[in-house]
A = this chain, B = another copy of it.
Amino acid sequence: MKKIKIGMLGIGNIGQGTYRTLEMSRARIEEATGLNLEITKILNRHPERDRGIDIPREKYVTDIHEIIDDPEIDIVVELIGGIEPATTFMADALRAGKHVVTANKAAIAANGELLQKIAHENHLMLRFEASVAGGIPILNAVTTALISNEFSEVQGILNGTTNYILTKMTENRQAYADALRDAQAKGFAETDPTADVEGIDAANKLSILISLLFGIGVAPDQIPTRGITTVTSEDISFAREFGYRIKLLGSARAKDGEVTCNVEPSLVPEDHPLANVNNEFNAVYVTGNAVDKLMFYGRGAGPLPTGSAVMGDIISIARKIEKNAAYDLLPHLRYDAGLSFAGEGKNPYYIRVTAPDHPGVLGQITSTFGVYGVGIRTMMQRAVASHSDTVPLIFIVYAIEKNILSTALDVLVGNGSVLRVDNVLRVLDF
């Protein structure tokens, strides 16, 4: 049985998940592939720490060169996370003739083009299935089975932490802060949840998807991004009355030579398949010109689901090593399809404002909307307690550029017909 030796960088959650996936499925893997895979060395900068996993200590090394310079190692698996030193380690491994597998969304979003170029020049493979949506094999699908499709759209629930929080806010009518605490207690959110709740993690993943699906590079910090911290239980209730759920979506569309995208809390129609994606689960919904609509649902994080994706990449490379075919004729990440990036484009929006409760206000609002071309699709005015002199108004408006909408709302606040803009959220067209 052909032996493939693997050097692993990092032995945190995902490293342990990968190690455990290999060990628990070793018989299945050998039966299905005829390959004997062995993780021979693990870069562990803190070998004294108890990782709670039974790994022979002689596998641990503290110097990256013990892996990169080992001629017996075929594949280097980078599971450190973060842009550096991970990028440098991966580049060095490729230059040393090792195939590279990574779960690192930040490094691939930032340096995927460079790393892929080095892999290509050295006739090696670079794979990163686990970097987007954890265990869901979306990258493999769009680069192989779906390769004959031109994609026009992707909508993704790409972050499990925020989806868990929004699910709890919806099911338990919890406030954001309470749901966040719950998520932290359950291990679904980190002590510093910024990268998740502000949408940064989702933007990294969306950047990778855009390059794979559309062939244009849009850096994560170019993607208009908004997190979930301003979503309130009022918004969730009102959205529900209109027949929507609120999800943090990473979205991108290619149309007429332009790509638009954003990461934003969005109203999803309740009969849309994305509406039933709850708790810590992720989903990616794509539209291709032949396959039409397709959704992949599963666990976007967690040691074993992520380990499943990492092992899938390792086995894919190992099978090709055995056939002397472990190289890509053309790269998967593309940046040269001739599309231009056009910001977030036009979208329908949900708008919640507080207005003075006196006659004529609704007329002022709708006529100002008319001046700016903001078309109202549905509108709701709620009866309020008799002692209140303000009233909440909710509008869903047709697709419009957000800066025009913002200008219209500024005018309304300026002339007093709106006291406060409580929230503006994107609406997913079905």
Structural contact, A329 and B34, CB atoms closer than 8 A:
yes
Size category of the A interface is 35 or more
Is A6 close to B, CB under 8 A? no
Q: Chain B's nearest CB lies how many Å from the CB of A277?
A: 7
Number of this chain's copies in the complex:
2
Across the interface, A325 reaches (CB within 8 A) one of B141, B293, B323, namely B323
Q: Given known contacts A145-B140, A298-B295, is B33 in contact with A330 (CB within 8 Å)?
A: yes
- A385 on the B face (CB < 8 A): no
Q: Which residues of B contact A309 (CB under 8 A)?
A: 145, 291
CA distance A197 to B125 in the complex (A): 46
Do the beta carbons of A149 and B308 come within 8 Å of each other? yes
A275 in contact (CB, < 8 A): yes
Q: Say how far A430's CB is from chain B's closest CB, in angstroms.
A: 12
Chain B residues in 8 Å Cβ range of A307: 148, 290
Residue-by-residue, is A291-327 near B (CB-CB < 8 Å gives 1, otherwise 0)? 1111111110010110111011101100110111101
Interface residues of A: mostly helix, strand, loop or mixed? mixed
A288: which B residues are within 8 A, CB to CB? 308
Q: Shortest beta-carbon distance, A137 to chain B, in Å?
A: 3
Judge whether A312 and B275 touch: CB under 8 Å.
Answer: no
Least Cβ–Cβ distance between A17 and chain B, in angstroms: 8
A147 adjacent to chain B (CB < 8 Å): yes
Q: Give CA–CA (A337, B32) in the complex, Å.
A: 10
Which of B145, B291, B327 interacts with A299 by CB under 8 Å? B291
Q: Which of A135, A149, A271 has the most CB of B within 10 A?
A: A149
Chain A 275-295, CB within 8 Å of chain B: the 1/0 string?
111100100000011111111
Q: Is the CB of B145 within 8 A of A129?
A: yes
Is A296 touching B296 in the complex (CB atoms < 8 A)? yes
Q: List 17 A-B contacts (CB under 8 A).
A: A17-B290, A31-B215, A31-B337, A34-B329, A135-B291, A135-B292, A137-B146, A144-B144, A145-B316, A272-B276, A273-B273, A273-B276, A275-B276, A291-B304, A291-B308, A295-B297, A324-B324
Further contacts, 15 of them, CB under 8 A, given A135-B292, A290-B305, A323-B325: A21-B148, A24-B290, A32-B147, A135-B290, A144-B316, A147-B311, A147-B312, A148-B308, A148-B312, A275-B276, A291-B304, A292-B304, A293-B298, A296-B296, A323-B329
